[in-house]
Amino acid sequence: MELYIHIPFCKKKCQYCDFVSAPGSVNEIEKYIESLKKEIVLSGKKFKGSRINTVYIGGGTPSLLSEDNISEIVKALKSSFDFSGVTEFTIESNPESISEEKLKLYKDIGINRLSVGVQSLNDENLKEIGRIHDSKTALEKLKLASEYFDNLSCDLIIGLPFDSRESVKNEIDTVAPYLSHISMYELIIEDGTVLKDRVDRNEVVLPSDDETEELFETARAAASENGFERYEVSNFARNGRISEHNYGYWTREEYLGLGLNSASLIGNVRFSNFSSMDKYTESVSGADSFDKIRRENVIKLSKKDIKDEEIMLGLRTMRGVRKEIIEKRISERLRPFFTEKDGYIALTEHGTSVMNPILIELLEM
């Protein structure tokens, strides 16, 4: 089983972000942590004896929390779950809230992987999307973090207003020496975000879809030149240092999400915690067992749902999907987009670039 712990606090919400996150006062953070710790304890009793493979503290901005806050959470986790089999323990961070003291603590309490939200090394891009760090800070903090963690990842967004093929390649070349992993995402404009409103008002001009695809291909080639192998649509690893936790999502490992708005997959049931802070804290405080915690979006998956998920998630990976699950769904027209190896069928490089319409056709069957 995999554990995910959500920290929903950010110093400032980025303009492209539609995640559940908000600034938090000291009192709000303390109240949330108390609810989170109770959920951890109740979950530990429910899943006593379950083998935990990976742990991921995400957000939000987990590195915004104080050393004491993070220590409390990790102490609750280790006293509630069996950590003897944990191979990967990740925490997300943003450059402006990384400090040497926090890095030392993370390492001391058993965290062995750091994921840093760099997003861009172009200061105009960072300003345009509402990030509160600059490129100089990002590089300084990556260098500092690399002194404490040899399993270091960073996120980059491709398709920002001031991106060019030259600048995107330079970003990859610049961050690569510090990293074992890179996540690169094409910018998606989500409804209800500040950036969506600004784009609609023509205050922000973004690259076209074709231009963004060219930029991503430039970034992919640069990552390959720096020794990173693409193992998932948006993820690249050097020397096999994949994100084990995220790979578990794509291969449908069981996972338990703890905290506000966190999702879980246990057996054939998917469910989520409330996205409202008040509802979440009330549901946890009023429960005396894991099963009494109220949830939302509880879905019991059918056999077809499970197969559809295996296809939809598995085709994101370069390994692909087991042949027996997908072979009969692939029409002659779609066959050129697929390749077969070791009993798995995966998308070709070109197939990956046009994955969405292919998935729509496959999942209709």
Tabulate helix, strand, coil % of the chain (nearest 5). Answer: 45, 20, 35
- In what helix (H) or strand (E) does residue 39 lie, and over which residues does it extend? helix 26-46
User: Is residue 296 within 8 Å of 274, Cβ to Cβ?
Assistant: yes
Within 8 A by CB and 6+ apart from 125, the residues are 119, 160, 161, 162, 163
DSSP symbols for 288-338: SSGGGS--EEEEEPPHHHHHHHHHHHHTTBSS-EEHHHHGGG--TTTGGGE
- In what helix (H) or strand (E) does residue 264 lie, and over which residues does it extend? strand 263-266
Two tokens, residue 308: 């559809």
Dihedral pair phi/psi, residue 295, rounded to 5°? -125, 175
Long-range contacts: 215-221, Cβ < 8 Å, 24+? 215/158, 215/159, 215/163, 215/164, 215/165, 215/168, 216/158, 216/159, 216/184, 216/186, 218/165, 218/168, 218/169, 219/156, 219/158, 219/168, 219/169, 219/171, 219/172, 219/184, 220/184, 221/169
pLDDT of residue 365: 67
Within 8 A by CB and 6+ apart from 347, the residues are 315, 320, 337, 338, 339, 355, 358
pLDDT of residue 41: 97
The pTM score is 0.95
pLDDT of residue 333: 93
Burial class (CB in 10 A: 0-12, 13-18, 19+), 114: buried
Using alpha carbons only, what angle is made at residue 349 by residues 346 and 353, rounded to the nearest 5 degrees? 100
Order the strands of the 88-93 sheet from edge to edge.
Answer: 228-232, 235-238, 181-186, 152-158, 113-119, 88-93, 54-59, 2-7, 255-258, 263-266, 269-272, 296-300
pLDDT of residue 14: 83
Long-range contacts: 280-289, Cβ < 8 Å, 24+? 280/35, 281/31, 281/32, 281/35, 284/35, 284/36, 284/38, 284/39, 284/42, 285/35, 285/38, 287/42, 288/42, 289/42, 289/45, 289/46
d(CA 176, CA 171): 8
Per-residue pLDDT of the chain (365 residues; tens, 9 = 90+): 999 999 999 888 788 877 767 777 889 999 999 999 999 999 999 999 898 999 999 998 999 999 999 999 999 999 999 999 999 999 999 999 999 999 999 999 999 999 999 999 999 999 999 999 999 999 999 999 999 999 999 999 999 999 999 999 999 999 999 999 999 999 988 888 888 899 899 899 999 999 999 999 999 999 999 999 999 999 999 999 999 999 999 999 999 999 999 999 999 999 999 999 999 999 999 999 999 999 999 999 999 999 999 999 999 999 999 999 999 999 999 999 999 999 999 999 999 989 999 999 998 86
Q: Match 């074709």 to its residue by tokens.
A: 210
pLDDT of residue 303: 94
pLDDT of residue 17: 78
d(CA 84, CA 78): 9
Two tokens, residue 25: 């006062």
Two tokens, residue 334: 């779609």
Cis bond before residue 320 (omega within 30° of 0): no
Distance of CA 251 to the CA centre of its chain: 15
